Amino acid sequence: MTVKIPLPHGKTSQKTLTDGAGTGRKPGSGKSAPIVPVRSWFVTFMCMNIPIVGWIYLVILACSSTSGPKKDFAKAYLIYKAVFLLITLVILAVFVHYGLILLDKVLAYMEML
């Protein structure tokens, strides 16, 4: 990538950047980052938000043999979903436990009437 650098007295100098700036690469790395089109990300988000199929889709994507941003995203999102599923189940269990005790007390009170 060539950049024009303004110099004093209205002159410009052209400088070629060699550190990978603007190419989607880390400086010093010889590899370029894979480019995933927006359409592919859209399909990924649509599939992963289908209730049961989404979990299966993410597991398949996370266990695929290819490496890349979609595989890493699938692993991270599976961990995210698993953590919040566990938190939800714990909260639900607490509400059911204390809710049943409260319901039993209400029914006992109604029998007294």
Q: Is the pLDDT of residue 87 over 60?
A: yes
List pLDDT tens digits, range 16-25: 655 555 555 5
Residues 87 and 47 in one domain: yes
> Which residues touch 13 (CB under 8 Å, ≥6 apart)?
4, 5, 7
Residues 44 and 15 in one domain: no
Range of the domain at 13: 1-33
Number of domains within the chain = 2
pLDDT averaged over every residue in the chain: 82
Residue 77: what are its φ and ψ, rounded to 5°? -70, -35
Residues 55 and 21 in one domain: no
Residues 48 and 103 in one domain: yes
List pLDDT tens digits, range 65-77: 888 899 999 999 9
- The predicted structure's pLDDT at residue 17: 58
Residues 14 and 46 in one domain: no
Q: Is the pLDDT of residue 30 over 70?
A: no
Residues 28 and 51 in one domain: no
Burial class (CB in 10 A: 0-12, 13-18, 19+), 58: buried
Residues 27 and 55 in one domain: no
Mean pLDDT across 58-62? 93
- The predicted structure's pLDDT at residue 68: 86
pTM: 0.58
Residues 60 and 73 in one domain: yes
